[in-house]
Chain A
């Protein structure tokens, strides 16, 4: 498929009713090195202290793996059907499933001359990235990849629908999903209602909190009045995130999602229609015992289908086809977009003005 083909079937982008534009992010999973710079950038900006220590609005988990919070994919939430009439019941994760914010023995090691190894106080049995790099499969065909996750600022956010006080809402200008801290009474229906478990309860503030897509940054609320992409995107060393409006037909996001259909939402079967999209991961093919390459996918397609839905097959095939084209000396708009290093094109910040 080419962009022209897709244009022929011209359809307007499906964004939520009453919303002018929809923010979106595309993350290329083939570039993620699991460095957690995005996690730290987000944490140091938004979730340090004040009851937020256990929260990671941005987290990067190893797949296959239990994720953060542990087994979030089994915690319910989302919608029962595409009519978005009835919600799937969900659960609030246990504190242990998130993991506690550990205290470390820095003091002893740095000041008291202890020769103990650096380690958390207490004896934690789980935490974010406890199963980091574990993955699945048997040597020499084991595999894993990293999955960075933020709130998807969904088109049909079940978190919004779950709130009996309408404290959580999708804002009109760009579809960012926000919690009105004045209206929130900490009932946590949004926490159980979000199938991605991207709303967190702050027991100190007694309200729920979540990713705000760094809206003050995209609005240019900083000291210099400059606009910036969300911190997780700007600070990513391999620059694997694209930021813009889904409905900005000039931008790469629209092309990757709507035209080439190579950027896919995570767990589309939750039916919230996420606006974070992923370029699915490739891996080298499997090896035989004696190190010969065999024509078998290392990351089972069935597993990728579990995560990204049926569209993953076409997406991988499209990328592969375009790669072959480039290998043969041709040019590919798709690969140009996926390898573009120009920040102005990756972050279409002008659309936020």
Chain B
């Protein structure tokens, strides 16, 4: 980009031209490397949400987000959340099978939706045999979203809400203040719908964003809301503390329905950085030439 067409004597001009060509080449290499670096970085930048964040997109109820197979979910980014056996005193606590749950989240004007999907070859949806246990998933949010409770189902000072779906079709909303303390809300405010296809469960849970019920988490807040997940595989006799659990994640409910514009900020920073590097490089090339002149 540094075309210098200043006339001079022949030799000078020739010499100047060759120097020009060199500087052009240097500039081109600088730009090429920038492009390469940017290309390499771009995907990282895209996925570079703050750690453990689950973006919350907007949906319209008309698109039926309660349906696990609805197109409404096609455009909502999924976060693959790793799971590990929960530390627990129950027998076989470390014998769990589910390794990842894929989580999507969206909100309409009134309701908050979660679409949870995980691999499980067998749909264990009834426990009519004494040895049979059902598949299940639970979502945990602090009752009081301004403080992060202990991940193992909170404690008495800082209890958690649990949204519990089990494959026998039951949905429960529970309050817990530590392991073994769950108590059921009289009336569950969480709706669930589920499908099992190609060895995967997909469950949509939804709840009103607002809540003024005692002990029920309100999602009408202007901050990050912590969330954690647990999955039970019935055919592995998983129940109670024998479960696969996540770390704390969070929904960025801080600034409006889109969440904070982290991606835009990151792209702006990246763009500025690229421009900055380019300008510095050009300047340096020019200076070098000026010196040798």
Query: Residue B130 contacts which of A95, A164, A165 (CB distance < 8 angstroms)?
Result: A95
The reply on B127 being an interface residue by CB < 8 A is yes
Q: Which residue of B lies closest to A192 (CB)?
A: B91
- Return chain A residues, CB-CB under 8 Å to B239: 186-188
A206 within 8 A of B: yes
* Bound CA span A189–B241, Å: 11
> How far does the alpha carbon of A187 sit from the alpha carbon of B181 in the complex, in Å?
14
Query: Which chain A residues lie closer than 8 Å to B240 at the CB level?
Result: 164-165, 185, 187, 189
CA distance A179 to B117 in the complex (A): 35
From 113 to 159 in chain B, residues with beta carbon under 8 angstroms from any chain A beta carbon are 127-132
A-B contact count (CB 8 A): 46
Q: Does A32 contact B (CB under 8 A)?
A: no
Interface flags for B82-95 (1: CB within 8 Å of A; 0: not) read 00000011110000
Q: Does B180 contact A (CB under 8 A)?
A: yes
- Chain A residues whose C-beta falls within 8 Å of the C-beta of B131 in the assembled complex: 92-95
B130 touches A201 (CB 8 A): yes
A98 within 8 A of B: yes
Contacts of A185 in B (CB 8 A): 182, 240
Q: Which of B127, B129, B132, B180 is in CB contact (< 8 Å) with A165?
A: B180
Tell me which residues from 85 to 101 in chain A have a Cβ below 8 Å from any Cβ of chain B. 89, 92-95, 98
A203 at the interface (CB under 8 A from B): yes
Knowing A164-B90, A164-B241 are in contact, say whether A191-B180 is a contact too (CB < 8 A): no
- Mark out the residues of chain B between 53 and 88 whose CB falls within 8 Å of any chain A CB in the assembled complex: 88
A203 touching B180 by the CB < 8 A rule? no
Contact of B91 among A189, A201, A203, A206 (CB under 8 A): A189
Is A301's CB within 8 Å of the partner chain B?
Answer: no
Q: A189-B90, A189-B240 are in contact. Are A164 and B180 (CB under 8 A)?
A: yes
CB-CB under 8 A for A98 and B130, given A164-B89, A185-B240, A189-B91? yes
Chain B nearest CB from A47 CB (Å) reads 14
Residues of B with C-beta under 8 A to A165: 180-182, 240
- For residue B276, CB closer than 8 A to chain A, the reply is no
- Chain A residues near B91: list those with CB within 8 A: 89, 189, 192
A193 CB, nearest partner CB in chain B, Å: 9
Can you report 28 residue pairs joining A to B where beta carbons are below 8 Å apart? Answer: A93-B130, A93-B131, A94-B129, A94-B130, A94-B131, A95-B129, A95-B130, A98-B130, A164-B89, A164-B179, A164-B180, A164-B240, A164-B241, A165-B180, A165-B181, A165-B240, A186-B127, A186-B239, A187-B90, A187-B239, A188-B239, A189-B91, A189-B240, A192-B91, A200-B130, A203-B127, A203-B129, A203-B132
Write the residues of chain B forming the contact surface with A, with a CB cutoff of 8 angstroms.
Answer: 88-91, 127-132, 179-182, 239-241
Extra contacts, 6 of them, besides A165-B182, A203-B132 (Cβ < 8 A), are A93-B131, A164-B90, A164-B240, A165-B181, A185-B240, A187-B239
Closest 10 CB pairs of A and B: A201-B130, A187-B240, A165-B180, A203-B128, A95-B129, A164-B180, A92-B131, A187-B239, A164-B240, A92-B130
